[in-house]
């Protein structure tokens, strides 16, 4: 069984660099981290020993509307973290990508039972789709990313979205911003609801008024930003809080097209800390989700449910990462 030292020797890196890459440390470059993670999976590395049990437990991971195959995609670190921790438990993991609305073809419990899966992990699903509805009655131990269902067999793992946006608003208020806009994701998303709640709580805590004309809903993708940015600026916004880094990237692009400077004219902040956040111009202030840790904790929670210890929700602490895209408003 491969060790951290084996991976370090294979890649001609220091043991400490490999250890940092496996833990998701921010001071290891994205290129090096992907190389470390890919090599760890290839060599069969597991973070701790667990050799009990003859037959591997079979786990199914369903993914809808989320990229996961490249390091710049949101789901990549989550899946890698999950696979590393699952390997430690000698679980056999299957990945099942679903096209939008394809889940209507599945009866979740029947599919899981017929294929001898002991538990499931669902990523990328919205509140109002068929699989989430089925979770309300499922008897299969299941973990959802970000979505909450009140069933003793189902748990939610994610970050505290309210706290993340709350920190962004505090940061902007401390810089002196008063007219802060928010470009959110879809209204049908629990994540969107929680991030909007965090925005409202942050504004209230900082003694600022939420101007409803400065709150808009998009779809988490960069292309929707141009529909709202010009309106925000005309309404006097000096800062724009975005519910994802992709949205923030679209906002930066539109502000550049309009001839406005960031952060001299307008400050912009995102959420997720995708690899692109470090490479935008200017680099993006954002909320970091430790997605490797999310994936690893999904395994921990899943094991608890399979052992009869019911968990409702596990929230990891997000981290504010201040870069170049936020500054004091113009006098």
Co-location of 173 and 100 in the same domain = no
Co-location of 109 and 207 in the same domain = no
Let me know if residue 331 belongs to a domain: no
Predicted confidence (pLDDT) at residue 317 exceeds the cutoff of 70: yes
pLDDT tens-digit map of 255-274: 999 999 999 999 999 999 99
Beta bridge partners of 94: 60
Q: Give the count of domains, the chain.
A: 3
Co-location of 172 and 277 in the same domain = yes
Predicted confidence (pLDDT) at residue 50 exceeds the cutoff of 60: no
Rounded-to-integer distance, Cα 163 and Cα 35, Å: 32
Co-location of 279 and 296 in the same domain = no
pLDDT tens-digit map of 5-17: 889 998 999 988 9
Co-location of 297 and 150 in the same domain = yes
Co-location of 123 and 195 in the same domain = no
Predicted confidence (pLDDT) at residue 49 exceeds the cutoff of 50: no
What is the biggest distance separating any 2 CA atoms in the chain, rounded to whole angstroms?
Answer: 69
- The chain-wide mean pLDDT, for the chain, equals 90
Sign, CA dihedral 278-280-283-287, equals negative
Co-location of 248 and 143 in the same domain = no
Let me know if residue 326 belongs to a domain: no
Domain that holds residue 169: 161-289
pLDDT of residue 129: 72
pLDDT tens-digit map of 112-159: 988 899 999 999 887 667 778 889 999 999 999 998 999 999 999 999
Co-location of 276 and 300 in the same domain = no
Co-location of 120 and 100 in the same domain = yes
Predicted confidence (pLDDT) at residue 52 exceeds the cutoff of 50: no
pLDDT tens-digit map of 188-219: 788 999 999 999 999 999 999 999 999 999 87
Co-location of 132 and 29 in the same domain = no
pLDDT of residue 152: 94
- Sort 109 into a burial class: Cβ within 10 Å, 0-12 / 13-18 / 19+: middle
Co-location of 147 and 195 in the same domain = no
Q: Which residue did the predictor score with more confidence, 115 or 101?
A: 115
Q: Which residue did the predictor score with more confidence, 105 or 315?
A: 315
Q: Calculate what percentage of the chain has a pLDDT beyond 90.
A: 65
Q: Which residue did the predictor score with more confidence, 26 or 193?
A: 193
Residue 143's CATH number: 3.40.50.2300
pLDDT of residue 245: 95
pTM over 0.75: yes
Co-location of 112 and 25 in the same domain = no
Let me know if residue 49 belongs to a domain: no
pLDDT tens-digit map of 227-254: 999 999 999 999 999 999 999 999 999 9
């Amino acid at each position: 069984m491969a060790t951290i030292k084996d991976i370090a020797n294979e890649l001609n890196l220091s043991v400490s660099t490999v250890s940092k890459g496996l833990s998701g440390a921010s001071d290891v470059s994205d290129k090096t981290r992907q190389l470390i993670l890919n090599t760890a999976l290839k060599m069969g590395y597991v973070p701790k020993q667990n050799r009990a049990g003859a037959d591997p437990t079979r786990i199914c991971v369903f993914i809808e509307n989320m990229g996961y195959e490249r390091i710049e995609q949101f789901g990549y670190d989550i899946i890698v973290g999950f696979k590393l921790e699952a390997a430690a438990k000698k679980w056999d993991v299957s990945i099942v990508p679903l096209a939008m609305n394809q889940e209507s073809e599945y009866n979740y419990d029947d599919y899981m039972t017929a294929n001898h899966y002991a538990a499931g992990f669902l990523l990328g699903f919205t509140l109002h789709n068929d699989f989430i509805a089925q979770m309300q009655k499922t008897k299969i131990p299941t973990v959802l990313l970000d979505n909450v269902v009140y069933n003793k067999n189902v748990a939610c793992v994610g970050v505290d979205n309210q706290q993340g946006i709350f920190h962004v608003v505090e940061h902007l208020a401390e810089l002196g911003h008063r007219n802060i806009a928010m470009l959110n994701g879809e209204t049908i998303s629990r994540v969107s609801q929680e991030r909007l709640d965090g925005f409202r709580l942050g504004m209230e805590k900082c003694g600022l008024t939420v101007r409803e004309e400065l709150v808009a809903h998009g779809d988490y993708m960069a292309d929707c930003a141009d529909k709202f940015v010009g309106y925000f600026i005309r309404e006097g916004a000096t800062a724009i809080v975005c519910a994802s880094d992709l949205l923030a990237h679209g906002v930066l692009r539109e502000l550049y097209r309009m001839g406005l400077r960031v952060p001299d004219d307008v400050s912009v902040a995102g959420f997720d800390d995708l690899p692109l956040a470090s490479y935008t111009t200017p680099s993006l202030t954002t909320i970091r989700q430790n997605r490797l840790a999310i994936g690893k904790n999904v395994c921990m929670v899943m094991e608890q449910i399979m052992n009869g210890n019911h968990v409702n929700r596990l929230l990891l602490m997000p981290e504010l990462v201040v870069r170049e895209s936020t500054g004091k408003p113009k006098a």
